[in-house]
Structure 1
Amino acid sequence: MVYGHKIDKNMEIWKIKQAIKALEAARGNGTSMISLIMPPRDEISIVTKMLGDEFGTASKIESTINRRSHLGAITSAQQRLSLYYSVPHNGLVLYTGTMVTKDGKGNGNTREVLHKFTVDLPEKHGRGGQSPLRFARLRMEKRHNYVRKTA
């Protein structure tokens, strides 16, 4: 049993080292990333209030891109903090925000078009006297085929 405990501890140390390497390589634009370091005896409610105040201040940023990235980082930090009831006995470090990749683009903000195709879904039939149920059934069938094609 002692040997298994040593392997688990070594694995945890290795995971922490890998996380630190990834964090060292992380870069962000301006205020799009937040580093939050809380000592062991700090109160989560105080830090949450501070983030709320910062959210109010950040919503006055004129640049749309900077404002959105800053507000997104603050919201993410607030959501992460809501998972904790108190600060762990060895403290809490929280890194959140939008990272910029090597090619200068933010993670999750890039799209790659894999395939394009046209959509020809029929609209509602407006004329009376002709089978509305049949037209509704044809509409639903074409919509179902479109969903299957895209999926």
Structure 2
Amino acid sequence: MATAMQNDDSAIEKWKLRRTIQYLSSLRGHGTSLVTIIVPAQSQLSQTTRLLTDEYALSSSIRSPQTRHNVQQALSAAQGRLRLYTQNTLPKNGLVLYTGIVDDGEQNRETKISMCIEPLQPLQRDLYRCETHFITDFLQQQIIDSVNDLNRRRYGIIVIDGNGTLFARIDPQQGTTILKRIQVSLPK
């Protein structure tokens, strides 16, 4: 019963993550004002904080006043989000930060986005990127990999009765394979 509930929770989390990724992938910013930051669990949070401080100082040399303002706003939001975490409270799979000011083309408005996501699988590398869009391809790949892992699961079956024993494997791609059959004659 508990396993079924955990599987349901896992499926709901994957669905939420997929929807969030679709939403983030559709957003576009003015200039290179959308910031994506990947923080693996084993990395030092102080290094990431220092990087953001350095990037904030460098952003003052951006020529376009609107892009400069948007980048500085995004970096400030990212620094604020990182302050909520310590090395001990960082999620076990790492953390992905998405911050920036997004153009809403239909109504000529700008919307501030600041989002933290814990990925499905542990992150292996860190990343800091300012682009016109958020970097979400690695999260999409994690969702695809998790679905493929479900399809790759194999189950073993052992059937024991009065006539013998049967060892079999159930594989989603190959079906059922009988590995070994042992027959015995037991006295009545």
How far has the Cα of 1:9 moved from its partner?
1.5
Matched with 2:157 is none
Name the CA shift for 1:38/1:108 in 2 (closer, same or farther; >3 Å).
closer
What are the Cα deviations for residues 48-97 of structure 1, in whole angstroms up to 9, with x where unaligned? 01100111111232322111101000001100111111232212111110
Show the 5 A alignment for 1:1-151: 1-2=1-2, 3-86=4-87, 87-103=90-106, 105-108=108-111
Q: Percent identity?
A: 36
Name the CA shift for 1:31/1:104 in 2 (closer, same or farther; >3 Å).
farther
Does the 8 A contact of 2:29 with 2:101 survive in 1?
Answer: yes
Matched with 1:143 is none
Distance in 2 of aligned mates of 1:106 and 1:52: 28
Distance in 1 of aligned mates of 2:63 and 2:107: 22
Does the 8 A contact of 2:102 with 2:111 survive in 1?
Answer: no
Q: Which has the higher strand share?
A: 2
How far has the Cα of 1:106 moved from its partner?
4.2
Distance in 1 of aligned mates of 2:48 and 2:77: 13
Q: Which has the higher helix share?
A: 1
Letter in 2 for 1:82: R
Distance in 2 of aligned mates of 1:58 and 1:25: 25
Normalising by structure 1, report the TM-score: 0.65
Letter in 2 for 1:16: L
Distance in 2 of aligned mates of 1:100 and 1:26: 8
Letter in 1 for 2:59: A
How far has the Cα of 1:102 moved from its partner?
3.7
Name the CA shift for 1:13/1:108 in 2 (closer, same or farther; >3 Å).
closer
Normalising by structure 2, report the TM-score: 0.53
RMSD across aligned C-alpha pairs, in angstroms? 1.9
Distance in 2 of aligned mates of 1:93 and 1:61: 25
> How many aligned residue pairs are there?
109
Residue aligned with 1:48, SS: helix
Does the 8 A contact of 2:28 with 2:102 survive in 1?
Answer: yes
